[in-house]
Amino acid sequence: MSRTLRRVVVAAVTSGVTLATACADAPEASPSTEDAGGQAPGVAAPTASSGFAPNLVANLLGCDRDGDSLRTTGSIRNQGQVDVRYVDVSLAWADSTGALVATDVASIVGGETLMAGDSVVFDVATAHPQASRCTDASVFFYEPIP
């Protein structure tokens, strides 16, 4: 059985503004066949024109201190016409000077379906002691449902 995975190259969102999105279809590779960069050998580099991509938009909604943690609230909206699952989001936090101090990748949608037109709210925290600002949320990975 062969599945097609879609990896998002760049889908950076800062303060709700999408900067760029590019994706590529690639046959799913077992860990033993992937090179150090996570790309299956022989698979062309992703480009913005390869296939059709769901338009997944990440938005930061809030950033609040909760005891020793800095909690990020955000949303992912599927503005495309393709249902997806296994949506992961990359998050970043900065200190008071704006220097990056922590990053994380969080699974926002698991095996359930995020249908075209739907959205999901997420809440992710960092315990990094110097984190004082939520600076970025971006779609890191998703799998389209054929």
State the Cα–Cα distance between residues 126 and 1, nearest whole angstrom. Answer: 38
- Within-domain flag for 47: no
| pLDDT at residue 46 in the model | 31
Expressed as residue numbers, the domain containing 94 is 4-27+53-144
Nearest Cα neighbor of 72 from 113, 15, 111 is 15
Per-residue pLDDT of the chain (146 residues; tens, 9 = 90+): 333 333 333 333 333 333 333 333 333 333 333 333 333 333 333 333 334 456 899 999 999 998 999 999 999 999 999 999 999 999 999 999 999 999 999 999 999 999 999 999 999 999 999 999 999 999 999 999 98
Beta bridge partners of 24: 7
- Within-domain flag for 38: no
- Within-domain flag for 33: no
| pLDDT at residue 54 in the model | 66
Domains in the chain, number = 1
- Within-domain flag for 83: yes
Q: Find the CATH number of the domain harbouring 79.
A: 2.60.40.3230
Model's pTM, two decimal places? 0.63
